[in-house]
Amino acid sequence: MSIVSALDSLIKSVDGFRGEMTTFMVELLKIRAVNPDGGGRGEYERALFLKRKLESFGIKVSRYDVPDPRVAEGVRVSLTSVIDGEDDSRTLWFVAHMDTVPEGARELWDTDPFEPVVRDGKIYGRGAEDNGQAVVATLFTLKALLSSTIKPPINVGVAYVSDEESGSKYGIIPLLEKVDVFRSNDIAIVPDSGTPDGSEIEVAEKSILWLKITTKGRQGHGSTPEKALNAHRVGLRLALELDDYLHSKYSAIDSLFKPPTSTFEPTKHELNVDNVNTIPGVDVQYFDCRILPRYPIRDVLVDIDLIRQRFEKTHGVEIEIKPIQKEENTVATSSKSLVVERLKISLNDLRGINAKPVGIGGGTVALFFRRKGIPTAVWSTIEEKGHQPNEYCKIQNLIDDAKIFVHVAVAQGDVGAVKHS
């Protein structure tokens, strides 16, 4: 059998996994893996479930534990498995995360978010798209490769990591520090962002700055505001001022990114008082800032602090502004890198798509690979339902993405490509 015929057969074999992939995805989503920062117990049980599945393929699984006293098991778990290629000195990695965000308001869901439902070619449940689809698609990419007579030109590995939804300090960050896992000449694909047609390859991310803003005034009775100092009112005014000022000053447009500007969004607000007729003495709110790489985070923080000082002086309150996540994203992956070129060839070959490189505001583990000098592309075919109520993934996306990953893994060497007929 020719290499082209063998590749044809290999890619078509993925269709035969449809039922198994669907069933496995449903069972995976039944295992709650809400990040502890969102009030959950973490990914431990989901990691063990994945480990058993990988071992059923007959391949070695490496487990990495990071201590975390907040979870019952005391550790957060990440996994890796690798298939040897012709050149075993480097690896193409597929990296997905196991944790999810909380379900949010239950009343906005049509079904139980932790009892996945298969309907109309879709799988509904928290974590279906973010990032269960990537876990299952890459898992069955390995299964397809293991069933083939084709040996990939370089090693092919998967890494299933913890804590992505809350900064990765218990996941990919410590894993990248281990000298026996990732190498500088490796390349990586992170299926954690994308579009419904798969026509965009993410090569850059904005810097991330999450802020906790605590305003302290003086609590009092709602009928005697003159005896109180309303922290909530000052907090609202501060939020609006920050919103207007930051959008106005940091207003550059970079067409690589979607959206093309920096964003500064007031998001979470903590309960301040339990009853209507009490004036809050403390108000706590949060901002989610996604900043174009051209702007240093330190400059943004200086401006924010000047506004804080002015508000303290003007309103007689005490204000603390604390960064709770701060990631400077100044390194991008070249659009001419091997990993991007591989993806572009596969997408053109299998889907007839001329994919374009883009930047995004969302944060992925690609950031940490890029900091290590490992060229990394973020790509998948998704409906952009992550973090939303009634989150789902299309079953066909599971299959079609696995086909792309198989093609990327075996069809291209470092020079040239084997054309799929």
Do residue 34 and residue 129 come from a single domain? yes
Do residue 267 and residue 150 come from a single domain? no
Whether 420 maps to a domain, the answer reads no
Give which of 104, 166, 128, 162 is closest to 382, Cα–Cα. Answer: 128
Do residue 344 and residue 239 come from a single domain? no
Q: Where are the alpha helices (DSSP H) in 112-260?
A: 133-146, 172-176, 231-249
Active site residues: 99, 164
Do residue 397 and residue 342 come from a single domain? yes
Do residue 211 and residue 199 come from a single domain? no
Tokens, residue 20: 């198994």
pLDDT for residue 414: 45
Whether 192 maps to a domain, the answer reads yes
Domain that holds residue 290: 207-327
Do residue 61 and residue 167 come from a single domain? yes
**3 state DSSP class of 70:** coil
Whether 243 maps to a domain, the answer reads yes
Q: What is the pLDDT along the chain (421 residues), one digit of tens a residue?
A: 556 778 888 999 999 999 999 999 999 999 999 999 999 999 999 999 999 999 999 999 999 999 999 999 999 999 999 999 999 999 999 999 999 999 999 999 999 999 999 999 999 999 999 999 999 999 999 999 999 988 999 999 999 999 999 989 999 999 999 988 999 999 999 999 999 999 999 999 999 999 999 999 999 999 999 999 999 999 999 999 999 999 999 999 999 999 999 999 999 999 999 999 999 999 999 999 999 999 999 999 999 999 999 999 999 999 999 999 999 998 999 999 999 999 999 999 999 999 999 999 988 999 999 999 999 999 999 999 999 999 999 999 999 999 999 999 998 654 333 333 2
Whether 417 maps to a domain, the answer reads no
**Taking the model in full, what pTM does it have?**
0.88
Tokens, residue 58: 């007959």
Could you write out the DSSP letters of every residue in 316-365? --EEEEEEEEEE-------TTSHHHHHHHHHHHHHH----EEEEESS--T
The Cβ-side half-sphere exposure at 340, using a 13 Å CA radius, reads 20
Count: domains in the chain:
2
Q: How far apart are CA 82 and CA 92, in angstroms?
A: 9
Whether 227 maps to a domain, the answer reads yes
